[in-house]
């Protein structure tokens, strides 16, 4: 018998009222924190009141331009006050924010945006080269950049239009490439974001005004939820982006950051940088990480050098970021429980985790490895206009099949075993081998190709290509890497190429990537 889904209360906003949609975050925080600083950028500070007013102006401008509730407002933009104004403003009138990954190649961005047919497109000041050409996405009828955005909102009232979306209405679409390379728009609603904000805070107690920094793009779920969480708590969100590990250390210390979030490679770079040895880390209280496994050696180095509390989350865009957390106290296990440092923590208060058999789909007992399934308020309702993908990923009673392998111990700690979907995690970016293989297969001198992940000291993993040359050709490793960089985002491109006479296959003709990993990893 299947257990009934969890009944989840909404998280409270800054004024103690339930957060039922994304717009409720800034509505309540502006009321509670007014002229306190919400965002800190190189260009200056933005208060909660100003963020609320400008997002209302954008909402009213959309209404005046004929944008309807449910229409998509796309963004190709880095982190900025514009980004959050657009997310909140769209929510205030019922539209759906749909940010694309700015690291994608222009052709990829066109495919992503075309999958959700946006009415409006905002392109950031530094993202002009990535913007689709006029007419490339036929549904777009309003094009904005920072300059035209100001013109678009300038005569609009600062009063909130007051639209009240249902908690189940999609508020944001974030994109994740499928294993075939086709874009999937992940629908996130008020229930999902409220669930994310409902995580217990007693593990991260702190006195005073938090200053948060998440040098993670807002088009990623970790970046976006970090920003919404900081806004909901009345903290200062630092949007100054570092130019490297040394600059990151400078920003963390000079800006007196108290809470930071990043992928493990960021923390690893910090601990290995010479400036870290003499930096004043007294203000940094907590550092959250996720997106890839954290080596135990890095955990120990960060604990000894920085001295802040570490916490790790496991999740994905489909679960509105973390569904398990390894809290700071879990990094200091009692005797006999040292193994839990290698886990990704336990399920959060409104989340169920189970391990199922890959064939029978039946739940497995403690200690046995299988596929991780998740259920709870954070889990997406599905994919935008992709009912086939939704049916494959979500059971009728709400269990999400993550595609990740793992096991649970007797105390509920989750241990990741492998990535069933063959996904490569490179510097926190998800890279699907099938997508890279599809791109490389178009090379005129490649007959066959297989892509695997190989260890990288800097990025955790990097794509690596094993190639069978087309008869009568003689491409070089440099030729193929250079060509790939013109086709797909650089983080997806192989860092190396090995040429072989044939790829290993099983009797059914399937490429044996396990053999390739053993040989090249």
C-alpha R_g of the chain: 23
Cα–Cα distance for residue pair 411/82, rounded to 1 Å? 44
Nearest in space to 189 (alpha carbons), one of 60, 96, 101: 96
The tens digit of pLDDT for each residue in 86-126 reads 999 999 999 999 999 998 889 889 999 999 999 999 999 99
Q: What pairs with residue 450 in β-bridges?
A: 466
Nearest-angstrom CA–CA distance, 326 and 314: 9
Contact 257, 286 (CB under 8 A): no
CA pair distance 248, 478, nearest whole angstrom:
32
Q: Per-residue b/e over 39-57, b at no fewer than 16 CB within 10 Å?
A: bbeeeeebbbbbbbbbbbb
Q: Is the distance from CB of 324 to CB of 345 less than 8 angstroms?
A: yes
State pLDDT tens for residues 64-74. Answer: 999 999 999 99
User: What CATH number belongs to 424-520?
Assistant: 3.30.300.30
User: Using CA atoms, how far apart are residues 282 and 160, in angstroms rounded to an integer?
Assistant: 40
Residue 420, pLDDT score = 66
Residue 280 and residue 275: Cα distance in Å, rounded? 10
Q: Which residues of 295-330 are buried (b: 16+ CB within 10 A; e: fewer)?
A: eeebbebbbeebebbbbbbbbbbbbbbbbbbbbbeb
Collect contacts of 147-155 with beta carbons under 8 A, ≥24 apart: 149/58, 149/82, 149/122, 152/58, 152/61, 152/65, 153/54, 153/57, 153/58, 153/60, 153/61, 154/57
Read off the pTM: 0.83
What is the DSSP secondary-structure string of 193-216? HHHHHTS--GGG---S--EEE--S
Q: What is the pLDDT of residue 507?
A: 43
CATH number of 21-34+41-165: 3.40.50.980
From first to last of its 521 residues, the chain has per-residue pLDDT tens of 344 445 567 999 999 999 999 999 999 999 999 999 999 999 999 999 999 999 999 999 999 999 999 999 999 999 999 999 999 999 999 999 999 999 888 988 999 999 999 999 999 999 999 889 999 999 999 999 999 999 999 999 999 999 999 999 999 999 985 444 567 999 999 999 999 998 776 677 767 899 999 888 999 998 999 999 999 999 999 999 889 899 999 999 999 999 999 877 788 789 889 999 999 999 999 999 886 556 677 788 888 999 999 999 999 999 999 999 999 999 888 888 888 888 999 999 889 999 999 889 999 999 998 899 999 999 999 999 999 999 999 999 999 999 888 899 999 999 987 666 677 888 888 787 878 887 898 899 998 899 999 999 889 999 999 999 988 999 999 999 999 999 999 999 999 999 999 998 754 456 788 889 889 87
Place of tokens 């401008």: 61
Secondary structure (3-state) at 120: strand
Query: Is residue 181 within 8 Å of 434, Cβ to Cβ?
Result: yes
pLDDT of 346: 96
Strand extents, DSSP E, 264-399: 286-289, 309-316, 321-326, 346-347, 351-356, 370-376, 382-383
User: Could you state, in order of their start, the residue ranges of all structural domains in the chain?
Assistant: 21-34+41-165, 424-520
Write down the pLDDT at residue 178.
47
How far is Cα 286 from Cα 309, in angstroms, rounded to an integer? Answer: 5
The pLDDT value recorded for residue 76 is 97
What's the full length of the chain, in residues?
A: 521
Terminal-to-terminal C-alpha distance of the chain: 43
The torsion angles phi and psi of 253, rounded to 5 degrees, stand at: -85, -45
Return the SS3 of 469.
strand
Side-chain-side CA neighbours of 119 within 13 Å: the count stands at 14
Which pLDDT does position 109 carry in this prediction? 93
Structure tokens at 112: 């992503």
């Amino acid at each position: 018998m299947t257990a009934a889904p969890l009944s989840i209360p909404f998280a409270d906003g800054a004024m103690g009222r339930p957060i039922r949609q994304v717009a409720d975050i800034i509505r309540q925080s502006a009321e509670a924190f007014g002229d306190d600083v919400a965002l800190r950028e190189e260009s200056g500070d933005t208060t909660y009141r100003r963020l609320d007013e400008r997002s209302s102006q954008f909402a009213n401008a959309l209404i005046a331009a004929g944008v309807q509730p449910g229409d998509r407002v796309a963004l190709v933009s880095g982190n900025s006050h514009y980004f959050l104004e657009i997310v909140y403003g769209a929510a205030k009138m019922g539209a759906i924010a749909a940010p694309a990954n700015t690291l994608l190649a222009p052709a990829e961005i066109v495919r992503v945006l075309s999958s959700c047919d946006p009415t409006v497109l905002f392109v950031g000041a530094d993202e002009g080269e990535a913007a689709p050409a006029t007419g490339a996405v036929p549904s777009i009828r309003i094009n904005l950049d920072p300059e035209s955005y100001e013109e678009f909102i300038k005569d609009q009232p600062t009063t909130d239009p007051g639209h009240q979306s249902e908690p189940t209405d999609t508020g944001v679409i974030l994109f994740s490439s499928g294993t075939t390379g086709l874009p999937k728009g992940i629908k996130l609603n008020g229930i999902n974001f409220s669930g994310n904000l409902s995580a217990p805070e007693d593990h991260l107690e702190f006195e005073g005004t938090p200053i948060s920094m998440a040098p993670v793009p807002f088009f990623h779920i970790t970046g976006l939820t970090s920003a919404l969480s900081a806004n909901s708590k009345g903290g200062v969100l630092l949007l100054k982006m570092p130019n490297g590990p040394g600059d990151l250390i400078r920003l963390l210390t000079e800006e007196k950051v108290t809470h930071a979030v990043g992928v493990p490679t960021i923390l690893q770079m910090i601990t290995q940088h010479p400036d870290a040895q003499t930096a004043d880390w007294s203000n940094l209280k907590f550092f959250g990480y996720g997106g890839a496994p954290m080596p135990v050696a890095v955990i120990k180095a960060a604990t000894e050098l920085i001295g802040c509390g570490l916490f790790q989350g496991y999740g994905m865009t489909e679960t509105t970021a973390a569904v398990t957390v390894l809290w700071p106290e879990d990094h200091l296990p009692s005797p006999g429980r040292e193994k839990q440092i290698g886990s990704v923590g336990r399920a959060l208060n409104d989340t169920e985790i189970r391990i199922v058999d890959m064939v029978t789909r039946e739940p497995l007992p403690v200690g046995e490895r299988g596929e991780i399934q998740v259920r709870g308020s954070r889990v997406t309702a599905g994919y935008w206009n992709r009912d086939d993908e939704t049916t494959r990923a979500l059971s009728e009673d709400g269990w999400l099949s993550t595609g990740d392998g793992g096991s649970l111990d007797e105390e509920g700690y989750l241990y990741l075993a492998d990535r069933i979907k063959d996904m490569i995690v490179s510097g926190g970016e998800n890279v699907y081998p099938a997508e890279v293989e599809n791109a490389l297969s178009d090379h005129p001198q490649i007959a066959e190709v297989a892509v695997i992940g190989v260890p990288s000291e800097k990025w955790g993993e990097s794509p690596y290509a094993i190639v069978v040359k087309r008869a009568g050709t003689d491409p070089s490793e440099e030729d193929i890497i250079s060509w790939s960089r013109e086709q797909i985002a650089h983080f997806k491109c192989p860092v190396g190429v090995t040429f072989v006479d044939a790829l290993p296959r099983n009797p059914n003709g399937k490429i044996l990537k396990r053999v390739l990993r053993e040989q090249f990893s």
